[in-house]
Amino acid sequence: DTTCPLVRKAHTALAQLVAAGYPPVIIGQASHVEVRGLAGDFPQAEILLHVGEISSLRCHPKIGIVSQTTQPITKVHELVRCIRERFPESEVVFRDTVCQPTKDRQAAMEKLCRENDVVIVVGGKHSNNTRQLVLTAQALGVRAQQVEQAADLQPEWFHQADRVGLTAGTSTLEETVAEVQA
In the sheet with 91-94, reading across from the earlier edge strand, the strands are: 46-48, 24-27, 62-67, 91-94
Give the whole-angstrom CA distance, residue 62 versus residue 93: 8
Instruction: Clarify whether 148 is annotated catalytic.
Output: no
- β-strand 24-27 against 143-147: which pairing, if any? unpaired
- β-strand 46-48 against 91-94: which pairing, if any? unpaired
* DSSP H or E run through 147: strand 143-147
Active centre residues (catalytic) = 34
